């Protein structure tokens, strides 16, 4: 998943690098508070460990092999903040001395592998683990966390690649950096990770963690019970990413209106008719058709709609939870 | 002295099945390659050359200009400059730079191939060339600068002391732990005499042992540092003094920037 | 059993082993002696197929051992079963969470039924006097215990040749004595034993032959063990004592 230079525009690199700066500062502060004595040696050696983990070839389904990243493993062992620093330093060594990953793209690579993987993986793991008892369940939660972590990172990388043709064009409209749009980048990145790399990462993470926990349980990071705000953070991030939908031209497959369906299918050749049910069938008058709100620009409308929609869903689920608990108590 | 079990006295008649351990062989190769490259993590050649911070800054500027440029002429100019700089290095550095640039160029070409076929050939070609140059630029700095000097360069460019120490330690321990990991992989290989249904489990055991060993080493190292007067503060000293080679490199980068501005298309 | 003709080996620049000629017969017990840095460990690794020879020929039981042959998985696996290696660093040789599993690893791979696996594990535990460690975690054992567990896990494969890299390092005198007895017994049972060692005091009566490697990475002398070890002038000249 290491992104080389010149695949992402300098603007994208700058934005992701800037996003990492506060993450690193907070990580340094948190690590100073948590690991007092041995922190310098432990961080240095953990960075070496993070580097070496990425060298292992792990058996993959189908008889091939793949590399793991290990971000979720290190987060489960040392906590997510220390993992962020360890993986960042490992990535720096890889970029500077081994040519693995670009220098300008360093911020992007850190964002994907030193931020998304450890944090997403760790929070999914802890969130699920705190709600299920048992050692075996803990391992399954870790595997899920690792799988989701690496796939989320792959998605981020795919988005970083996929928006390049839209945001960096020359005069003739040709792409300057990665030439593959979202429609190609997302399946291109996600399919190998969903089908192969995710399982490799999960399997490797679980087996290493299981060994360490069995042999030396005291070495594992004892984190505080996850606070719910983390989940809100994830939701918030998803809400902010919604306007990306605007970049995709046309209408999502299957969501055509009656007029659109005439031209939508068939490679430019139009459907000669409109299905009768669509002209005369049920019509739902939505509150905010096409996500347009009161004349605001499209992206603002999207954000507003996303926020409102998410809030409504959360309220509904919480109310349901309340009802269920009341029901079981009765 | 207990007696020998009967099976130990017999000769083993054993015919292994066809089971590949590709992951093991590839892992071993990866670690061998790392340790071979470990020489590169060693000392730096001395002599008439620019200071590491200047080289790093020059490289960053060059990378940025190459990335931003839309002019094939500029990219050619930058390429020529890098070629000239490479020519000034010793043989082993030249080989490393050319190999890195070649490999990355080939890989990018493969990735860009669908785009090229699809009608974006000029863009694909430009990106491939830029990737070659960027890789060459970074490899040039890395191969001609020792890791200690690189760490110092980061310090002089504003990185915090804690980061420098962590980076330095990471480099040292990549080699030490890497050797330990390689020995473990060898041990696993020698005992993989048949079909191992728990391949990932064995690898997990190695990774787990590696982690626990690294934690122990960290605590020992801390004790060692305390015994040598470490009190929790970290100061990294930097050497001052820029000379002629630094000025020359500065001028070269300045000319490159000028060329960039001149060759900008609207 | 083992035959090296003109074998050289190098790491980067310079030879680590130069023009080694060596012949070890079935059932021999050989001590490999030499100053630090002469290439003893490399030679042992080469014999186990971990390091390729740059030049020369290595034949094991009449068959040439080359990189190409070792790439064929069944051949390599059979080879590794026939020659067992005890690493200098026992920490690196243990990767299972329980001692029983560690020793059972090899026999299980060979496809033996679980009852036979259990018999072998118990046999090794008893032979080495470590029955009490059966359920322990290898990582937390003492240096000597780790060495014995590692040796047990190698013996469980029932190799014909046993190669040991400085097995006495870091052991207390009682463990050294115990290990010495085991090596004698294994050789008496028909195993070929090859061992690199500095510890002359504790290996009396174990080896019949000694091979001396010099600073020049060549074989300096081969002969009867008692003769060589008692030739102080020779050993001093070779930086061994």
Shortest distance between the Cα of C236 and any Cα of chain B, in A, equals 32
| Total domain count, chain B | 1
Q: Answer yes or no: are the C-beta atoms of B218 and A42 closer than 8 Å.
A: yes
More confident residue, B37 or A194: A194
Strand order in the sheet with C55-60: C15-24, C2-10, C55-60, C63-64
Domain presence at residue B62: yes
Question: Distances from the Cα of A101 to the Cαs of A177, B135, B173, in angstroms?
Answer: 15, 9, 21
Residue A89 β-bridge partners: none
Residue A59 β-bridge partners: A65
Give residues with Cβ within 8 angstroms of A22, minimum separation 6.
none
**What gap in Å lies between CA A83 and CA A74, rounded to an integer?**
5
CB atoms within 10 A of CB C18: 20
CB atoms within 10 A of CB C213: 26
ipTM of this predicted structure: 0.89
Residue C194 β-bridge partners: C30, C163
Q: Which of A195-199, B63-67, B196-200 shows the lowest per-residue confidence on average (mean pLDDT)?
A: B196-200
pLDDT at C192 over 80: yes
Shortest distance between the Cα of B152 and any Cα of chain A, in A, equals 14
User: Exposure pattern of A5-31 as b/e (b: 16+ CB <10 Å)?
Assistant: bbbbbbebbebbbeebeebbeebbebb
Task: Tell me the pLDDT band of B148, cut-offs 50, 70 and 90.
Answer: confident
From the list A256, A244, A237, the residue with the least C-alpha distance to A302 is A244
Q: In chain A, which residues have pLDDT < 70?
A: 35-38, 171, 223-330
CB contact under 8 A, B225 and A171: no
- Domain hosting B90: range is 50-187+211-262
What's the pLDDT at C37? 82
**What gap in Å lies between CA B171 and CA B176, rounded to an integer?**
9
Domain presence at residue B163: yes
Task: Tell me the pLDDT band of B43, cut-offs 50, 70 and 90.
Answer: very low
CB contact under 8 A, C139 and A216: yes
Structure tokens at A226: 């996850």
Q: Answer yes or no: are the C-beta atoms of A176 and A169 closer than 8 Å.
A: yes
Shortest distance between the Cα of B116 and any Cα of chain A, in A, equals 9
B167-191 per-position pLDDT tens digit:
888 888 898 899 999 999 999 999 9
Give me the sign of the Cα torsion angle A189, A195, A197, A198.
positive
CB-closest option in C12, C84, C181 to B1: C181
Prediction pTM value = 0.81
What's the pLDDT at A250? 47
Q: How many residues does chain A have?
A: 330
Residue B180 β-bridge partners: none
Residue ranges of E strands in C148-240: 161-165, 192-196, 209-213, 219-224
From the list B67, B65, B60, B55, the residue with the least C-alpha distance to B256 is B65
CATH architecture classification, A10-226: Orthogonal Bundle (1.10)
What's the pLDDT at A315? 63
Q: Which long-range contacts (C-beta less than 8 Å, at least 24 apart) are formed by B25-31?
A: B25/B189, B26/A57, B26/A65, B27/A55, B27/A56, B27/A57, B27/B185, B27/B203, B28/B182, B28/B185, B28/B186, B28/B189, B30/A55, B30/A56, B30/A57, B31/A52, B31/A55, B31/B178, B31/B181, B31/B182, B31/B185
Q: State percent of chain C over pLDDT 90.
A: 51
Chain A residues close to C137, C-beta within 8 Å: 214-215
Question: Distances from the Cα of B116 to the Cαs of A78, A167, A181, B122, B129, in angstroms?
Answer: 45, 20, 14, 8, 14
Average pLDDT over residues B41-60: 70
Domain presence at residue B76: yes
SS3 C97: coil
DSSP B18: -
CB contact under 8 A, B7 and C158: yes
Domain presence at residue B40: no
CB-closest option in C91, C110, C189 to B193: C110
Q: Which of B178, B200, B216, B220 is the best substitution to test chain A (most A C-beta atoms within 10 A)?
A: B200
Give me the sign of the Cα torsion angle A311, A312, A316, A322.
positive
List of chains touching B (3+ CB pairs within 8 A): A, C
Chain C residues close to B184, C-beta within 8 Å: 92-93, 95
SS (H, E, C) C195-238: EECCCHHHHCCCCCEEEEECCCCCEEEEEEHHHHHHCHHHHHHC
Q: Answer yes or no: are the C-beta atoms of C203 and C197 closer than 8 Å.
A: yes
More confident residue, B127 or B89: B127
More confident residue, B203 or A242: B203
CB atoms within 10 A of CB A175: 22
What's the pLDDT at C171? 86
Give residues with Cβ within 8 angstroms of B217, minimum separation 6.
A41, A45, B173, B176, B177
User: What is the average pLDDT score of chain B?
Assistant: 82
* Helices marked H in chain A: 10-34, 39-53, 71-78, 80-98, 106-110, 117-129, 135-162, 164-167, 182-192, 198-215, 229-241, 258-264, 276-280, 298-329
Partner C contacted by B89 (CB < 8 A)? no
Tell me which chain B residue has its CA closest to the CA of residue C109: B194
List of chains touching A (3+ CB pairs within 8 A): B, C
Chain B residues close to A103, C-beta within 8 Å: 59-60, 63, 134, 138
Chain A residues close to C139, C-beta within 8 Å: 215-216
CB atoms within 10 A of CB A226: 18
B93-119 per-position pLDDT tens digit:
888 888 888 988 898 888 888 888 877
CB-closest option in B9, B12, B18 to C73: B18
Q: Answer yes or no: are the C-beta atoms of A111 and A121 closer than 8 Å.
A: no
Residue C15 phi/psi, 5° resolution?
-85, 140
SS3 C161: strand
Shortest distance between the Cα of C97 and any Cα of chain A, in A, equals 6
User: What is the average pLDDT score of chain C?
Assistant: 90
**What gap in Å lies between CA C7 and CA A161, rounded to an integer?**
52
**What gap in Å lies between CA C81 and CA B106, rounded to an integer?**
42
Chain C residues close to A215, C-beta within 8 Å: 97, 137, 139-140
What's the pLDDT at A249? 47
What's the pLDDT at C102? 94
pLDDT at B1 over 70: no
Q: Answer yes or no: are the C-beta atoms of A120 and A223 closer than 8 Å.
A: no
Average pLDDT over residues C136-159: 93
Domains of chain C: 29-50+83-237 (3.40.50.300)
Domain presence at residue B236: yes
More confident residue, B227 or A150: A150
SS3 B20: coil
**What gap in Å lies between CA C113 and CA C111, rounded to an integer?**
6
**What gap in Å lies between CA B125 and CA B128, rounded to an integer?**
5
SS3 C30: strand
What's the pLDDT at A304? 57
C70-96 per-position pLDDT tens digit:
888 889 999 999 999 999 999 999 999
């Amino acid at each position: 998943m290491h992104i080389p230079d010149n695949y992402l525009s300098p603007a994208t690199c700058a934005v992701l690098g800037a996003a990492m700066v506060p993450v690193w500062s907070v990580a340094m502060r948190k690590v100073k508070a948590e690991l007092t004595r041995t922190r310098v040696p432990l961080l240095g050696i953990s960075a070496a460990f993070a580097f070496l983990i990425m060298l292992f070839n792990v058996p993959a389904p189908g008889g091939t092999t793949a590399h793991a990243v290990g971000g979720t493993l290190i987060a489960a062992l040392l906590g997510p903040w220390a993992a962020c620093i360890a993986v960042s330093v490992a990535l720096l060594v890889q970029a500077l001395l081994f040519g693995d990953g670009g220098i300008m793209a360093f911020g992007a690579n850190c964002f994907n592998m030193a931020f998304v993987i450890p944090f997403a993986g760790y929070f999914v793991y802890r969130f699920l683990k705190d709600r299920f008892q048992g050692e075996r369940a803990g391992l399954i939660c870790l595997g899920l966390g690792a799988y989701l972590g690496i796939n989320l990172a792959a998605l981020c990388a795919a988005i970083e690649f996929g928006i390049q043709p839209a945001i960096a064009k020359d005069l003739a409209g040709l792409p300057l950096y990665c030439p593959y749009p979202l429609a190609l980048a997302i399946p291109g990145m996600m399919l190998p990770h969903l089908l192969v790399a995710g399982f490799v990462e999960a399997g490797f993470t679980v087996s290493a963690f299981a060994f360490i926990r069995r042999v030396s349980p005291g070495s594992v990071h004892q984190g505080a019970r996850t606070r719910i705000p983390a989940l809100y953070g994830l939701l918030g991030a998803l809400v902010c990413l919604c306007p990306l939908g605007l970049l995709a031209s046309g209408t999502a497959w299957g969501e055509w209106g009656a007029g659109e369906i005439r031209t939508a299918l068939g490679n430019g050749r139009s459907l000669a008719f409109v299905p009768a049910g669509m002209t005369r069938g049920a019509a739902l008058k939505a509150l905010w058709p096409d996500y347009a709100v009161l004349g605001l620009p499209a992206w603002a409308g999207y954000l507003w709609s996303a926020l409102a929609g998410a809030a409504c869903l959360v309220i509904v689920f919480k109310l349901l939870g309340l009802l269920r608990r009341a029901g079981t108590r009765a | 002295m207990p007696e020998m079990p009967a099976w130990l006295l017999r000769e083993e008649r054993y015919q292994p099945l066809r089971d590949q351990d590709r992951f093991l062989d590839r892992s071993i190769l990866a670690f061998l390659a790392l340790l071979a490259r470990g020489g590169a993590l060693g000392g730096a050649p001395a002599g008439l050359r620019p200071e590491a911070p200047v080289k790093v800054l020059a490289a960053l500027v060059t990378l940025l200009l190459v990335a931003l440029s839309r002019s094939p002429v500029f990219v050619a100019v930058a390429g020529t400059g890098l070629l000239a700089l490479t020519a000034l290095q010793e043989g082993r550095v030249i080989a490393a730079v050319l190999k890195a640039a070649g490999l990355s160029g080939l890989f990018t070409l493969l990735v860009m191939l669908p785009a090229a076929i699809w009608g974006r050939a000029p863009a694909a070609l430009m990106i491939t060339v830029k990737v070659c140059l960027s890789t060459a630029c970074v490899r040039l700095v890395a191969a001609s600068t020792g890791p200690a000097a690189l760490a110092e360069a980061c310090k002089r460019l504003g990185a915090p002391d804690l980061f420098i120490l962590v980076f330095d330690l990471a480099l040292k321990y990549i080699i030490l732990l890497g050797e330990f990991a390689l020995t473990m992989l060898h041990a696993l290989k020698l005992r993989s005499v048949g079909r191992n249904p728990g391949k990932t489990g064995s690898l997990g055991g190695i990774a787990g042992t590696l982690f626990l060993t690294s934690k122990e080493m960290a605590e020992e190292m801390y004790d060692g540092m305390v015994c040598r007067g470490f009190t929790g503060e970290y100061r990294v000293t930097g050497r001052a003094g820029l000379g002629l080679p630094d000025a020359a490199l500065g001028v070269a980068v300045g000319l490159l920037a000028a060329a960039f501005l001149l060759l900008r298309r609207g | 059993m083992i035959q090296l003709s003109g074998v050289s080996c190098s790491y980067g620049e310079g030879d680590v082993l130069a023009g080694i000629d060596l012949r070890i017969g079935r059932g021999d017990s050989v001590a490999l002696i030499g100053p630090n840095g002469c290439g003893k460990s490399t030679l042992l690794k080469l014999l186990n197929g971990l390091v390729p020879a740059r030049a020369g020929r290595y034949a094991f039981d009449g068959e040439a051992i080359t990189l190409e042959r070792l790439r064929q998985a069944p051949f390599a696996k059979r080879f590794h079963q026939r020659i067992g290696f005890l690493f200098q660093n026992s920490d690196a040789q243990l990767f299972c969470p329980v001692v029983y599993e560690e020793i059972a690893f090899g026999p299980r791979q060979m496809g033996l039924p679980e009852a036979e696996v259990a018999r072998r594990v118990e046999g090794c535990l008893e032979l080495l006097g470590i029955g009490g460690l059966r359920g322990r975690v290898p990582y937390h054992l003492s240096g000597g215990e780790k060495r014995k567990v590692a040796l047990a896990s190698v013996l469980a494969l029932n190799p014909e040749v046993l190669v040991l890299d400085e097995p006495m390092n870091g052991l207390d005198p009682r463990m050294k004595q115990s290990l010495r007895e085991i090596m004698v017994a294994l050789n008496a049972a028909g195993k070929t034993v090859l061992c690199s060692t500095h510890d002359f005091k504790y290996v009396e009566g174990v080896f019949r032959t000694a091979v001396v490697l010099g600073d020049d990475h060549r074989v300096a002398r081969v002969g009867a063990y008692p003769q060589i070890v008692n030739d102080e002038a020779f050993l001093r000249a070779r930086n061994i004592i």
